[in-house]
Amino acid sequence: MASELSDTLKSLPSHHFQDFYTLKELPESHAWKPVDDDLCPFGHHDMVAEQVPVVDLSDPTAERLIEHACRTWGVFQIINHGIPTRLLDDIESACQRLFSLPMHRKLRAAREPDGTAGYGPAVISSFFPKKLWSEGFTIFGSPLEHARQLWPNDYMKFCDIIGEYKKEMKQLAQKLTWLMLSPLGITQEDVKWAGPEGEFEGASAALQLNSYPTCPDPNRAMGLAAHTDSTLITILFQNNIAGLQVLREGFGWVTVSPIPRGLTINVGDMLHIMSNGLYPSVLHRATVNLTRHRLSVAYLFGPPWEAHVSPISKVVDSDHPPLYRAVTLREYREMRAEHFDKALSLVRLRAPN
């Protein structure tokens, strides 16, 4: 066991991998000073009786509610979405099974220093002076190779659940994307890269499993620092433990109360650009807590890697000139990797009217 661990560590920047489960107090490296209210996860803003909209997808007026939520919040929760409860339970167990593995085992599936898939800290962590109280596992395509490393004798269970979850999420993401675009008058003809049937063939998709272990000093720790997603939309499942907060302009940070079997949808930067800013991407973050291990699963749905994404002509006219230039997701991810939260303003053409 010991040699196995040292072999793994030799080839990895080991200081990036923190075993939270053995820490009895918060190390300085992870202590975020609540210098301003913005950084304090439990600031008084939570007292504001503002709630993220909840949309019942079986409700005929869902589309109008979604449009309103997207224009004002950039985030909403959905119920009656058709994802089987059994599958949500399965994905939660799969996360538990993965993150409860001993560190040396998880490190076998560690993300390479310049790679994107596998186990490790959130990729955004390098942009912050303090470390995050979380670990993640990122999946592009098939998790088979990593699963083999994690469970040499029993890797198919994990792969099957991931495969089924991605398939269900893809369908839901397609449906939701059109439900979000059509109130803006955007139809299938307007989005060339969505394909003739609007099926988003070639769409990019990733699954991000997040784990927020219990934390001895949650008020000074940050699970996932504030960010927007570089997606069209993200579908988030959380295991019934509060932690996700969204920034509502004029109100501050608002906690998204978990609804059993509900899913949270948020607008990412690609949809922000396509809608010419009518649907702003939402800044969000995750807090941690003292007694409960929080898990979340994000399905990151984006345009095809090489598709040119730009403000759709339907939402552009002489009074509303395009605010963003065309950009591919590949190009945008590169900009994010270098400039993080400045990326969106770097593709901006002019200030808003």
Ligand X SMILES: O=C(O)CCC(=O)C(=O)O
| Site membership for ligand J5X, residue 169 (CB under 6 A) | no
Q: Find the binder of Fe ion among 229, 233, 239, 296 (CB under 5 A).
A: 229
How far, in Å, CA of 34 to CA of 346, rounded? 29
Instruction: Rank residues 94 and 282 by Cβ distance to Fe ion and give the closer one.
Output: 282
Catalytic residue among 108, 111, 248, 294: 294
Phi and psi at 30, nearest 5°, equal -110, 5
Q: Which stretch binds ligand X (CB under 6 A): 27-35, 62-70, 236-244, 304-312?
A: 236-244
Question: Tokens 């939270």 map to which residue?
Answer: 20
Instruction: Rank residues 42 and 128 by Cβ distance to ligand J5X and give the closer one.
Output: 128
How far, in Å, CA of 56 to CA of 61, rounded? 9
Q: Find the binder of ligand J5X among 88, 184, 206, 335 (CB under 6 A).
A: 206
Instruction: Rank residues 127 and 193 by Cβ distance to ligand J5X and give the closer one.
Output: 127
Length of the chain: 353
Q: CB of 318 within 8 A of CB of 122?
A: no
Instruction: Rank residues 192 and 339 by Cβ distance to ligand X and give the closer one.
Output: 339
| Site membership for ligand X, residue 224 (CB under 6 A) | yes
**Helices 85-99 & 156-181, crossing angle to 10 degrees?**
130
Q: Report the C-alpha dihedral over residues 84, 236, 177, 271, rounded to 10 degrees.
A: -170
Question: Tokens 């899913």 map to which residue?
Answer: 263
How far, in Å, CA of 59 to CA of 346, rounded? 39
Minimum Å distance from CB 238 to ligand X? 5
Q: CB of 281 within 8 A of CB of 269?
A: yes
Q: Find the binder of ligand J5X among 116, 142, 171, 313 (CB under 6 A).
A: 116
Q: Pick from ligand J5X, ligand X, Fe ion, none: which does 123 bind, CB < 5 to 8 A by kind?
A: ligand J5X
Instruction: Rank residues 105 and 336 by Cβ distance to ligand J5X and give the closer one.
Output: 336
| Site membership for ligand X, residue 225 (CB under 6 A) | no
Minimum Å distance from CB 348 to ligand X? 22
Q: Give me the sheet containing 135-140, strands edge to edge.
A: 54-56, 75-79, 263-267, 233-238, 294-302, 204-212, 135-140, 118-120
How many alpha carbons fall within 13 Å on the CB side of residue 309? 29
Q: CB of 269 within 8 A of CB of 234?
A: no
The DSSP 8-state label assigned to residue 179 in this structure reads H
Build a one-symbol-per-residue string for 261-300: x at contacts with ligand X by CB under 6 A, - elsewhere.
-----------------------x-x---------x-x--
Told to judge if 350 belongs to the known catalytic residues of this protein, a careful annotator would answer no
Minimum Å distance from CB 208 to ligand X? 4
Closest residue to Fe ion, Cβ-based? Answer: 229
How far, in Å, CA of 173 to CA of 167, rounded? 10
Q: Find the binder of ligand X among 18, 208, 230, 275 (CB under 6 A).
A: 208
Minimum Å distance from CB 237 to ligand X? 9
Minimum Å distance from CB 343 to ligand J5X? 9
Q: Which residues pair with 309 in a beta bridge?
A: 327
- List, as one string, the DSSP characters of 54-89: EEETTSTTHHHHHHHHHHHTSEEEEES----HHHHH
Contact footprint for ligand X (CB under 6 A): 208, 210, 224, 229, 234, 236, 238, 243-244, 284, 286, 296, 298
Contact footprint for Fe ion (CB under 5 A): 229
By annotation, the residues acting in catalysis are 294
